[in-house]
Amino acid sequence: MFTRLAAYEGRSATTGGTGKDPVNEPMIRHWCEAMGDTSAAYRGPDAVAPPTMLQAWTMGGLAGHTEHRSAAYDELLGLLDDHGYTSVVATDCEQEYLRPLRPGDRITFDTVIEGVSTRKTTKLGTGYFVTTRTDVHADAEPAATHRFRILKYRPDQGNRPKWSDHPDRPAQRRPAEEHPLRPRPVVNRDNVGFWEGVAAHRLLIQRCTDCGALRLPWLPGCNACGGAEWDTVEASGAGTVFSHVVMHHPPFPAFAPDGEGGPYAVALVELAEGVRIVSNVVGVHHDQVRVGMTVQLEFLVTDPELELPVFRVALGADSDVDHRASEEG
Ligand code: ZN
């Protein structure tokens, strides 16, 4: 298998691609507004484009760059699909800037399949890393290099608990085949303390020990002062619905109380401590969630391996709410 994959190394994925638009001030301004970047270098008569905006000039838009794309890259991905490596995740990108891009520059680019790894086992599953290198030219001068790496992998279902196999499964419960499990949270060294708190039925908020600012979700540093040191405070559990949406599409049975993927409410809850958390509101029908509702933290067992902090509408807090329409879980 690896020999067949390695044969694609060095083959062209895109030849003579052209940017949809020349480098231009409106796109630079929109990007700076979206990113909150107020640098003077990106304004005025001598403006350059933000270097990290590189891909904005080469992306194909919804239609893609089909006219310049070679078959090699699609063949490589198809070969991996055929062998069961059907999932894909972008893992990292590296960019090198050779000269600034300025309004008026016409962008061209060539992309080559730079490398295919040997088979690797990752937490997501077993698969192959595929790296492409795009050489970007501005008015025919080398301007930048963009390396993009994906993992094509076979999803690892082996570690996922199957409710249908669980000895405690009540007979009336829907089997897992009909009611899929919620995706597992991504637990890493920056947020492991949050999930340890959840396991102990405590909702822990990070507190910067330099300036006292509270933060949720957990981050490695303080957005207010840049401090790296922190401790935690436990949320009282009191909160209000700050904002919410009702999800209709795509249907996602794991999140829907009816197990059919029907509509469900996702809320941004403002805790009494002042920070906000994205969660579910339980205890009311999805179309009865309202901004300003008083809610109280509780922990929902979604399956034998997962508990999540959710927020229950306080009884009596909102007299127009029909609490009977409230089977969650
Ligand atoms: Zn701070």
On whether both 226 and 250 belong to a single domain, the answer is no
Asked if residue 113 lies in contact with residue 9, where contact means CB atoms within 8 angstroms, the answer is: yes
Q: Is residue 258 part of a domain?
A: yes
Distance 210 CA to ligand 1 centre (A): 5
Distance 230 CA to ligand 1 centre (A): 8
Distance 233 CA to ligand 1 centre (A): 14
Residue 325 domain boundaries: 237-329
Distance 216 CA to ligand 1 centre (A): 13
- Which pLDDT score, from 0 to 100, does residue 123 have? 82
- pLDDT tens for the 329 residues of the chain, in order: 888 999 999 999 988 899 999 999 999 999 999 999 999 999 999 999 999 999 999 988 877 666 777 889 989 999 999 999 988 999 999 999 999 999 999 999 999 999 999 999 988 889 999 999 999 999 999 999 999 999 999 976 554 444 444 444 444 444 445 567 888 888 999 999 999 999 999 999 999 999 999 999 999 999 999 999 999 999 999 999 999 998 887 777 787 766 666 788 899 999 999 999 999 998 888 889 999 999 999 999 888 889 999 999 986 655 444 444 444 43
- Which pLDDT score, from 0 to 100, does residue 70 have? 81
Q: Is the peptide bond before 26 cis (omega within 30 degrees of 0)?
A: no
- Which pLDDT score, from 0 to 100, does residue 159 have? 47
Residues around ion ligand 1, judged by CB within 5 A, are 208, 210-211, 213, 222, 224-225, 227
On whether both 223 and 324 belong to a single domain, the answer is no
Q: Is residue 169 part of a domain?
A: no
Distance 279 CA to ligand 1 centre (A): 25
- Which pLDDT score, from 0 to 100, does residue 129 have? 95
- Which pLDDT score, from 0 to 100, does residue 323 have? 45
On whether both 108 and 123 belong to a single domain, the answer is yes
Asked if residue 100 lies in contact with residue 23, where contact means CB atoms within 8 angstroms, the answer is: no
- Which pLDDT score, from 0 to 100, does residue 181 have? 85
- Which pLDDT score, from 0 to 100, does residue 220 have? 93
Number of domains in the chain: 3
Report residue 262 as tokens: 């029907």
- Which pLDDT score, from 0 to 100, does residue 28 have? 97
Q: Is residue 162 part of a domain?
A: no
Specify the pairing of strand 306-313 against strand 281-282. parallel
Q: Is residue 26 part of a domain?
A: yes
Distance 39 CA to ligand 1 centre (A): 24
- Cα pseudo-dihedral 93, 99, 101, 107, rounded to 10: -70
Q: Is residue 191 part of a domain?
A: yes
Residue 270 maps to which CATH number?
2.40.50
On whether both 112 and 217 belong to a single domain, the answer is no
- Which pLDDT score, from 0 to 100, does residue 286 have? 87
Which residues does 175 contact at the CB level (< 8 Å), separation at least 6?
Answer: 163, 164, 169
User: Among 36, 38, 66, which residue's Cα sits nearest to residue 223?
Assistant: 36
Q: Is residue 97 part of a domain?
A: yes
Asked if residue 131 lies in contact with residue 35, where contact means CB atoms within 8 angstroms, the answer is: no
Distance 219 CA to ligand 1 centre (A): 12
DSSP character string of 230-271: EEEEE--SEEEEEEEEEE-SS--GGG-TTSS---EEEEEEEE
Distance 84 CA to ligand 1 centre (A): 47
Q: Which of 176, 209, 234 is the last residue of a domain?
A: 234
Asked if residue 12 lies in contact with residue 112, where contact means CB atoms within 8 angstroms, the answer is: yes
